[in-house]
Structures are given as structure tokens and as C-alpha cells.
Amino acid sequence: MKALLVERDKLKHNLRIINNIISKKDNKRKRIKIIAVVKGNGYGLGLVQYSKFLIDNGINMLAVATVEEAIELRNGGIKTDILMMSSTAVKEDIENLIENEIILTIGSKEAGDAVEEIAKKQGKKVRVHIKIDTGFGRYGFIYTEKEKMIEAIKRWKNIKIEGTFSHLSLAFFGNGKEAQTQFNRFMQCIETLNASKIETGILHICNSSAFLRFENMHLDAVRIGSALLGRLSIPNTWGFKRVGYLKSNVAEIKILPKGYNIGYSNAFVTKKETKVAIIPCGYADGFNVIVDKDMFRKRDKLRYIIRDIKNAFKKQQIKVTINGEKCLVLGRLGMFHVTVDITNKNVEIGDEAIFEVSPMLVDSKITREYI
């Protein structure tokens, strides 16, 4: 049976690294808060399972990206603070979030007015974080429109601001100049809000990459997601361990004669008699799935072309691990199956096969097993 295996000891190891970094900086100041980001089905580790693990290991605030994730956590018995990071002016969504005691994000006058209207009708004081767009172009009050932001906030009587944050567009690459510019814009907005006697609550701007690269930007809280899985967008010099791998089992073994086709498109033909194992796991399960190119500047296109040319001259090999040995995938991957070369290897039907995957790309229907 297929399952994504999640190693508890590796998760604890990564959390210790993060806590150690925080502890070294804290010294005489108030401890920096970890906001654990569990969006995308807990980065593929199973939203509720993963969140409960984090809470059991000292995390007391979670963050999600969608209404559905927030509600699923509450339905799963999670009672800790949950921040919905995406601002919305959709009243039905706001009502659901308020009903489930989720901390809302307000990133526009329209969103704030909608929250205020619903909060007033329900006679509630709604907990929120204010989002400031410092150059990402997505959710948030635009940083240059400080007066409009202040004017909107001062009209809200049923909203309690518990935090203010922004999001960096380039924390994982470059010399940090762009990130510093965004950080400065954010702090200027905070100064203006405070000067207008607006409480800004806890301040946070760092994601995992920014947390590890820019110590001066830690502020009151940091939002940690990918670092907990040890899957960084920057060189791993801290000793983080990658968490999560996909397992399946050998379903069939056969010996194919020389000159025999394997898989779709007749892309592979055996050069000699070959012993193969068929394993029920394929790209629909998340194996060898690659996120498509998503940058379209001329220099990005040129970089893609150069990379593709280099790859054309490399021998591309996809491997699966069985009984501690690497086995080569033969032919094209199937949607739910692969065929691997086990010639001269001690492999039997039922043996466990290990697939290196990104947990986020593993089908959510596949069981998550914490080991």
C-alpha cells in the first residue's frame, strides 16, 4: 500500500535548529514567536496530522492560505490560534472565518469594511492582522498609500489589530538588496501607523529563507514553512534534514527478453534479457513531478534554454530504492506504475520501494504515516 512516510525525528531536528537560531538572538529581548505555516495540506505532510505534531512540540500559532484549510483545522479539533494569511472581502468567507474563531488578515479597505460590518452585526470584536504590500503585488495595503490605510483603520470599531505583516518577493536569491528595500518600506509604514496612535501588534515579515538569511528582519515573529521540512530554496548550511518520502511495494516481477519494449511511446527497448519489477506508483502519485517554468523575462527564457541544452547532453536517470539499492526506472513513467531494472538484485514481490518526492506534490488521497 502506498503511503507518504513522515519522519518525526527529522521534524524535531529541524524545529530544534530553528529554536536554537531564535534562542541565540533573543538574549535580553522578548522571544521571537514561531508562526508555523501549514498551507498546502501542511506542505504535503497532512494538514491536521502535521498541525497536531507541531502543537505537541511547542508551536502555538498556525498559518494557512485558504478558508478551507482554516475550517479543516477547526473540524480536526485544532484549538490553537490560526492566522488566515489571505485577505478577503467575500462576506460568506468572512462569516465562516469569524464563526470558527480564525484570526483574519485585512489587506484592503474593502476587506476591512466587510469585516467591520459583519463584526458589528454579530456584536463581536474580531481579531485581525493587517497586511501591507511592500512590493509583492498581491494582498495588502499598498505601502505608498499610508494615509488611505490610516483613514480606513480609524473607522473600524469592531476590529482588534493583533499583528501587522508583509511578504518578501525575493528572500531566497540575490544579495538581499530588494528584501532590505521591502523591509524598510514596511518599517516606515509601521512608524506612520504608530505615530497615528494605531496599534500594530506583533510584526512579522520573514518566511523561512528570510529568517535564515536576514537576522535583522526577525522582528516579533517569523513565519516558518519549508524550513521545517528541510526543503530550502537556499543552500542548506544549518544541517536541516529533508522530511517525507513515498513508499510502495513491488507488485510483479518478470524477465523480459532482449529487444522488448517497455512503456508508452516505445521509448525504451531492452538491450539484453532484463529482470524487472513493476511497482504501483507513478506521476499521478507525485513521483518525478516537475513544476513548469513560470518566469517569462528574456533573461529567464535564456537561462531556461541554456539549462535545457546542458541537460540534453546529460544521461538522465530516474531511480527508485529497493532494499537499500538504487534501481533504474526503464521507459516512460506511467500514471500509476513504473517498471524498474532489478537484474542481479535480490528483490521479491512485496518488497518496499522508496521514491524521492516533494511531499507537496504527493496526491492528498495517499495516506500520511508518521514514523
Of the two residues 137 and 27, the one the predictor is more confident about is 137
213 vs 173, 206, 232, 238, CA distance in Å? 10, 9, 12, 11
Q: Average the pLDDT over 257-273 and give the result.
A: 96
Instruction: Round to whole Å and give the CA distance between 156 and 112.
Output: 8
Percent of the chain with pLDDT strictly greater than 70: 92
Asked whether the predicted pLDDT for residue 27 surpasses 90, the reply is no
Domains, the chain, ordered by start: 8-229 (3.20.20.10), 245-370 (2.40.37.10)
Look up the pTM and report it.
0.92
202-204/126-133 β-pairing: unpaired
Digit-coded pLDDT (tens) for 322-362: 999 999 999 999 999 999 999 999 999 999 999 999 999 99
The pLDDT value given to residue 357: 96
| Helices and strands, counts by H and E, the chain | 11, 20
Given a cut of 80, whether residue 365 has pLDDT beyond it is yes
Closest residue by Cα to residue 362 from 208, 248, 230, 209: 248
User: Distance between CA atoms of 102 and 255, rounded to whole angstroms?
Assistant: 57
Instruction: Please check whether residue 148 is in contact with residue 196, taking contact to mean a CB–CB distance below 8 angstroms.
Output: no
Rounded average pLDDT over 221-231: 98
Per-residue pLDDT of 283-336, as tens digits, reads 999 999 877 666 666 666 666 566 666 655 666 689 999 999 999 999 999 999
Question: What is the DSSP-derived secondary structure letter of residue 146?
Answer: H
Query: What CA–CA distance (Å, rounded) separates 224 from 206?
Result: 8
The more confidently predicted of residues 291 and 211 is 211
| DSSP code at position 329 | B
- Out of 6-15, 100-109, 308-317, pick the least confident: 308-317
Secondary structure element (H or E) that encloses residue 222, with its range: strand 221-224
How is 41-90 classified by DSSP, letter by letter?
Answer: HHHTT-HHHHHHHHHHTT--EEEESSHHHHHHHHHTT--SEEEE-S----
Residue range 135-174, pLDDT digits in tens: 999 999 999 999 999 999 999 999 999 999 999 999 988 8
Mean pLDDT of the chain: 94
* Mean pLDDT calculated for residue range 76-84: 98
Each residue's pLDDT tens digit, 113-136: 999 999 999 999 999 999 999 999
Q: Is the pLDDT of residue 25 over 90?
A: no
Percent of the chain past pLDDT 90, that is, above it, reads: 88
Contact predicate 191/206, CB 8 Å:
no
What is the average pLDDT across 62-80? Answer: 98
